[in-house]
Amino acid sequence: MASDAARSTSAHSGPSPTHGPVSGTTALAAALMIFGGAMAVFEGIAAIAKDDLFLTTRHYVFEFNLTGWGWIHLIVGILIVLAGCAVLGGALWARYFGVFVAGLGALANFLSIPYYPLWATVLVAVNIFIIWALCTGMHREPDHGRVA
């Protein structure tokens, strides 16, 4: 009886169309998404609070007030953290969504380089690495329980 129960639970523990196994590359991308998204949230909060952390520039092409950039970074950061949690949980849709929001995060940080150059450059690099890891992780996933 114990072997029948073990067989029935192992038959249902394989990958599903909506959830798949998570490789090390994908887990690293998810952890970086959670970390990078949290940093973007903190950046947004600091900008909304009108902290003296940011440099004010003149005659910048993509000029918003600092509060506008703060809301952009806050919203994108929250989306990146949520996508990172879903990727870590193995949701396949979250990988595509993660690539999208990491691209938005890279773009938002690239456009805010004049306000805080070092921080924005590091977050651009982190977001580009996340995109790479999510895209290559899909091809490296282990093949658990699938019969060819």
- Please report the DSSP string for 19-36 in residue order: B----HHHHHHHHHHHHH
pTM: 0.72
- Does 104 have pLDDT greater than 90? yes
Output the CA angle 133-139-143, nearest 5 degrees.
125
Please report whether residue 116 resides in a domain. yes
25 vs 115, higher pLDDT = 25
Q: In which band, very low, low, confident or very high, does the pLDDT at 9 lie, cut at 50, 70 and 90?
A: very low
Please report whether residue 9 resides in a domain. no
pLDDT per residue as tens digits for the range 12-71: 455 555 555 567 888 889 999 999 899 889 888 988 887 665 656 666 555 667 778 788
Please report whether residue 84 resides in a domain. yes
Please report whether residue 85 resides in a domain. yes
Q: Considering its fold, how many domains does the chain have in total?
A: 1
Tokens of 142: 């282990």
Give the per-residue pLDDT at 119.
Answer: 84
Please report whether residue 142 resides in a domain. no
Please report whether residue 65 resides in a domain. yes
Please report whether residue 119 resides in a domain. yes
What range does the domain containing 86 cover? 22-53+61-137
Please report whether residue 127 resides in a domain. yes
